[in-house]
């Protein structure tokens, strides 16, 4: 009677009739005289009281009545001595795994030696997909079963319920503090790889996530050291499946592929792997060139960053695509970093910023922790750069915006921290892209004296005069102009005349700025021409920077006067508003002439 009251109090979602059955089964378990009586009681429990309906107090009562020795003994009997039992091997397995699965939901149970002793058997069942396969491996295969008896072979296959129970036990073990290491030491990696390779029951749904857990934490490097061949074979298989999948499926499988990439220090020296990485990049290129939602872009960028971590920029593709990759990563990170304080970031954006989507993912890994893996959380675009001094390398700064957007007063703390992580060396290998102009413009504020800016000045003095005469490249020319003027205003004061390269650049800059004004009406204000709609802020910022250049290089006054644009501009300014000229143009510059 006491047992019945306890079952009613702690039976969770069990019905009254189930509680009564459980009460009688527990009584039978406590007073069983042989295994037959014990098995009968357990069969009733597993059949009439599903594990999903058993709460913790009820599970404790069953554990106390049965213990873990019996289910472990059932598994051993099913594999090693099936003919010595009154029940078929498949029934023994079904009962043993069901009981273990139910008991493993208790954290204390999952780490007990009796349960851990069953792990090799469970892994063997999953790897071979049948009882007979495991029996043959152990040398205890059935002797009375004809080789052509397909019905007998079919009956020995691991059914989905038993496979699910096996995975439940292994997942419970993996969740305890030393669980991944315990599984790794019990050959979990080759067993699960074999299950996936042979497409055993539930291998895609359950084996791959479990392998992902083993390859995402402290056991990652150790797993690749112990089982490089099996993991390489699995990775090549997954890479082929990724490349062959359709676009909607490919977006979903980006995150699944990441945990199976080897750490750079343990990457096998395999031409097959390098070719697979090239194929994955080829599949990623059209994805990154498409319009993506926040939920889609995050996994794509994380996968791209991990591929960069593995083999760098060489297999990525054309330089234009490299710039696009950096730009998209920069945009996503800046959007995340500039969220107002207290804003709850979406899971997708958190994943993009830290490369971590959940507890099963690697400990804080970043979206672009690529060529220099470092511990601790970092942001994705801080690391989207290869080593400097490489002619083929891109090394842009994080900010993908124009100078105007990067150099506003009151720059946020996040932006300062963002800029200070990436050195400028190597940025000029992608200097022909608009992406870099805003980034380097930000850098001029924090490292104006860096000697590498001389290289950039030389390029700007050659390129800007050409761009001025190409209306289709107006936005790029405006970026170049603004960038060069920003660098020039921060140079040490000098009283001499500008040299030939400086004269070439400033003449082109003055012509570009002056040519931006349209012909206004007699009564209305002068406006920027329509072609400058996308670069209006750059025009204003260029005027500000030009005033700063004149202050540190008075020799520019004669050059600007000779161009003859300032008087014309000021004449047009009469009656116009601040849309055309700003403070520095209208008040500071005239005082210098």
Out of 120-124, 142-146, 252-256, which region has the weakest mean confidence (pLDDT)? 142-146
Residue-level pLDDT at 532: 87
Tell me the domain boundaries of the chain: 217-384, 448-591
Q: Residues 357, 255: contact at Cβ < 8 Å?
A: yes
DSSP characters over 16-80: HHHHHHHHHHHHHHHT--SHHHHHHHHHHHHHHS-GGG--HHHHHHHHHHH-SHHHHHHHHHHHH
DSSP characters over 415-473: HHHHHHTS--TTGGGGTTSHHHHHHHHHHHHH-TT-THHHHHHHHHHHHHHHHTT-GGG
* Position 67 pLDDT exceeds 60: yes
Tell me what the mean pLDDT of segment 96-118 comes to: 87
Burial class of residue 492 in the structure, from the number of CB atoms within 10 Å of its CB (0-12 exposed, 13-18 middle, 19+ buried)? exposed
Residue-level pLDDT at 284: 94
**pLDDT tens column, 524-541:** 556 788 888 888 888 988
Q: Residues 542, 482: contact at Cβ < 8 Å?
A: yes
DSSP secondary structure code for residue 83 in this structure = G
**pLDDT tens column, 542-575:** 988 998 898 888 888 888 888 776 666 665 555 4
In 3-state terms the chain splits into helix, strand, coil percentages (rounded to 5) of 65, 0, 35
Out of 53-62, 198-207, 219-228, which region has the weakest mean confidence (pLDDT)? 53-62
- What does residue 443 show for φ and ψ, rounded to 5 degrees? -65, -30
Dihedral in degrees, nearest 10, Cα atoms 234, 239, 240, 244: 140
Q: How far, in Å, CA of 454 to CA of 449, rounded?
A: 9
Segment holding 486, helix H or strand E: helix 474-489
**Residue from 267, 121, 259 nearest 188 by CA:** 121
Q: Give the CB-side neighbour count of residue 331, counting CA atoms within 13 A.
A: 15
Segment holding 488, helix H or strand E: helix 474-489
* Position 404 pLDDT exceeds 80: no
Residue-level pLDDT at 436: 54
**pLDDT tens column, 259-293:** 999 998 888 889 999 999 999 999 999 998 888 88
**pLDDT tens column, 420-453:** 433 333 333 333 346 456 555 555 554 555 666 7
Residue 583 pLDDT grade (very low, low, confident, very high; cuts 50, 70, 90): very low
**pLDDT tens column, 499-519:** 889 999 999 999 998 888 765
**pLDDT tens column, 465-496:** 999 988 888 888 998 999 999 888 888 888 77
**pLDDT tens column, 10-46:** 445 678 888 888 888 888 888 888 777 877 787 777 7
- What does residue 159 show for φ and ψ, rounded to 5 degrees? -75, 165
Tokens of 410: 């009151």
**pLDDT tens column, 352-374:** 776 654 433 333 333 333 322 63
CA distances from 521 to 151, 309, 512, 524, 581 (A): 94, 58, 22, 5, 17
Tell me what the mean pLDDT of segment 90-99 comes to: 86
Residue-level pLDDT at 211: 96
Q: Residues 74, 95: contact at Cβ < 8 Å?
A: yes
- What does residue 31 show for φ and ψ, rounded to 5 degrees? -115, 15
Helix spans in 176-318 (H): 179-185, 188-197, 208-214, 220-226, 228-244, 247-257, 271-288, 294-311
Q: Is 85 helix (H, G, I), strand (E, B) or coil?
A: coil
Supply the pTM of this predicted model.
0.60
**pLDDT tens column, 460-472:** 999 999 999 888 8
Residue 200 pLDDT grade (very low, low, confident, very high; cuts 50, 70, 90): very high
């Amino acid at each position: 009677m006491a047992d019945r009251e306890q079952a009613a109090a702690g039976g969770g979602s069990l019905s009254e009739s189930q509680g009564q059955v459980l009460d009688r089964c527990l009584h039978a378990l406590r007073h069983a005289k042989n295994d037959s009586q014990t098995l009968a009681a357990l069969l009733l429990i597993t059949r009439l009281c599903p594990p999903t309906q058993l709460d913790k107090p009820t599970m404790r009562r069953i554990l106390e009545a049965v213990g873990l020795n019996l289910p472990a003994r059932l598994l051993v009997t099913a594999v090693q001595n099936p003919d010595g039992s009154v029940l078929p091997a498949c029934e023994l397995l079904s009962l043993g795994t069901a009981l273990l699965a139910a008991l493993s939901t208790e954290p204390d149970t999952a780490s007990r030696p009796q349960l851990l002793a069953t792990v090799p058997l469970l892994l063997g069942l999953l790897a071979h997909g049948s009882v007979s396969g495991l029996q043959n491996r152990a040398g205890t295969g059935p002797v009375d079963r004809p080789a052509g008896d397909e019905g007998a072979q079919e009956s020995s296959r691991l059914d989905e319920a038993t496979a699910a129970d096996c995975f439940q036990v292994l997942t419970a073990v993996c969740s305890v503090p030393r669980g991944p290491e315990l599984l790794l030491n019990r050959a979990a990696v080759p067993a699960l790889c074999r299950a996936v390779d042979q497409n055993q029951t539930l291998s895609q749904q359950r084996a791959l996530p479990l392998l992902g857990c083993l390859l995402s934490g402290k056991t990652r490097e150790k797993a690749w050291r112990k089982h490089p061949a099996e993991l390489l074979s699995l990775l090549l298989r997954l890479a082929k499946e990724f490349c062959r999948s359709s676009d909607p499926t490919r977006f979903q499988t980006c995150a699944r592929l990441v945990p199976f990439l080897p750490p750079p220090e343990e990457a096998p020296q395999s031409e097959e792997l390098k070719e697979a990485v090239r194929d994955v990049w080829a599949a990623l290129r059209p994805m990154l060139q498409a319009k993506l939602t926040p939920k889609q872009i995050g996994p794509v960028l994380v996968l791209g960053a991990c591929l960069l971590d593995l083999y760098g920029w060489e297999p990525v593709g054309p330089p234009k695509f490299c710039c696009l990759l950096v730009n998209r990563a920069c945009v996503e990170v800046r959007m995340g970093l500039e969220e107002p304080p207290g804003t709850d970031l979406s899971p997708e954006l958190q994943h993009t910023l830290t490369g971590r989507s959940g507890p099963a993912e690697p400990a804080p890994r970043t979206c672009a922790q690529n060529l220099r893996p470092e511990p601790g959380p970092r942001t994705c675009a801080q690391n989207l750069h290869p080593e400097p001094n490489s002619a083929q390398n891109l090394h842009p700064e994080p900010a993908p915006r124009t100078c105007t957007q990067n150099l506003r007063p009151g720059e946020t703390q996040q932006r300062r921290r963002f800029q200070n992580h990436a050195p400028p060396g190597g940025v000029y290998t992608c200097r022909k892209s608009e992406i870099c102009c805003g980034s380097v413009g930000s850098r001029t504020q924090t490292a104006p004296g860096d000697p590498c800016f001389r290289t950039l000045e030389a390029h700007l003095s050659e390129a800007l005069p050409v761009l001025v005469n190409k209306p289709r490249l107006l936005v790029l020319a405006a970026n170049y102009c603004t960038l060069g003027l920003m660098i020039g205003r921060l140079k040490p004061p000098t009283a001499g005349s500008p040299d030939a390269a400086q004269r070439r650049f400033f003449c082109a800059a003055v012509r570009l700025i002056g040519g931006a004004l349209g012909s206004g009406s007699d009564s209305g204000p002068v406006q920027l021409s329509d072609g400058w709609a996308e670069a209006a802020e750059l025009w204003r910022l260029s005027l500000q920077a030009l005033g700063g250049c004149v202050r540190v290089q008075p020799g520019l006054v004669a050059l600007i006067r000779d161009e003859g644009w300032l008087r014309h501009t000021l004449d047009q300014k009469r009656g116009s508003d601040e849309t055309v000229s700003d403070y520095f143009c209208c008040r500071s510059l005239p005082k210098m002439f």
